[in-house]
Amino acid sequence: MINGKRIAVVLPAYNAEKTLAATVAELPDLVDIRILVDDHSSDRTVEIAERLGLQFFVHDQNYGYGRNQQTCYREALAAGADVVIMVHPDYQYTPLLVTAMASMVAYDVYDVVLGSRIIGGQALHGGMPFYKYVANRFLTAFENLFLGIKLSEYHTGYRAFSRKVLLEVPLLENSDDFVFDNQVLAQCVNFGFRIGEVSCPTKYFEEASSINFRRSVTYGLGVVGTTLQFALQRAGLAHFRIFNPKGRKLEPGYASYYARGAAEPPG
């Protein structure tokens, strides 16, 4: 707990048996709620999560990274979290920054805090593939131009959110795939939430999850599409569901019907 706020860490997992224990070992004691959502892994991820004492939910099939996050946030809100930090269980991002990121939200400095791999200039040193680094810089510059803000990167998976953000942003209108991450940030800008960043070292190694070149291209095209949708919405030339304040939002009292470990939905 920080400043009277309950802190939750959510771990969207898929075949994370080799790195989960190391990730959880570095989570600070101030974390009140620790939730893992397994997207139908074929390894021992769930067994290890249970052994580590995590609250866990298991999808009945592989729904995708975006849907995994929806379950993560819904269950964290249902558990009473005031600040929710997403930490990838592949140990690519150090959990040691959870305290700093959660504090910035808990003390109402920012509504959203990102762990940036670019600040500090260590992304390539940490093993980020060169083509991903170049794409990251290009897409970030493109997004800064059209979104009207200045972030060092939009593509980190290390994020902290206030409860207010997760309840008010229409997250259920977003993709089930990796572009979900980018859509969330565009939504946060659209709805006027404050976004901050902290420098975060990154580690690329064999066990760390990383999408391949083909899926990276698909993600990049999705980022461009989301950015152009934002620009058209702002200009009043088109309207998109992901930016509709009346769009579908998370309901923390409504358990994830496709996740074992959660109660059955009402009715």
Q: What is the distance, to the nearest Å, from the Cα of residue 182 to the centroid of all Cα atoms in its chain?
A: 9
Domain boundaries, position 100: 7-243
Across the beta sheet with 159-162, the strand order is 195-199, 112-116, 159-162, 83-86, 7-13, 33-38, 55-59, 259-260
Q: State the first-to-last Cα distance of the chain, in angstroms, to the nearest integer.
A: 35
Instruction: Judge whether 251 lies within some domain.
Output: no
In a domain? residue 256: no
CA–chain centroid gap for 20, Å, is 17
Q: Is the predicted pLDDT of residue 264 greater than 80, yes or no? A: no
- The whole-angstrom separation of Cα 145 and Cα 215 is 24
- Look at residue 2 in the predicted model and tell me its pLDDT: 97
Query: What pTM, to 2 d.p., does this model score?
Result: 0.90
Note whether residue 259 is domain-resident: no
- At 267 the pLDDT is 31
Q: What is the pLDDT of residue 204?
A: 67
Confirm whether 12 is domain-assigned.
yes
Neighbours of 237 (CB within 10 A): 8
pLDDT score for 64: 95
> What is the count of structural domains for the chain?
1
What CATH number does the domain containing 223 carry? Answer: 3.90.550.10
Asked whether residue 248 is assigned to any structural domain, the reply reads no
Q: Say whether 261 sits in a helix, a strand or coil.
A: coil
Reported as a single tens digit per residue, the pLDDT across 72-96 is 999 999 999 999 999 999 998 999 9
Residue 264 forms part of a structural domain: no
Judge whether 54 lies within some domain.
yes
Calculate the average pLDDT of the chain. 90
Q: What is the pLDDT of residue 266?
A: 31
What pLDDT score was predicted for residue 29?
A: 95
Q: Which two tokens stand for residue 153?
A: 């990167």
Q: Which of 210, 85, 68 has the alpha carbon at shortest distance from 135? A: 210
Residues 87 and 216: their CA atoms lie apart, in Å, by 20
Q: Which residue has the higher pLDDT, 173 or 117?
A: 173
pLDDT tens, 121-168? 777 766 777 888 888 899 999 999 999 999 999 999 999 999 999 999
pLDDT class of 206 with cuts at 50, 70, 90: low
CA atoms within 13 A on the CB side of 91: 16
User: Is 255 within the bounds of a domain?
Assistant: no
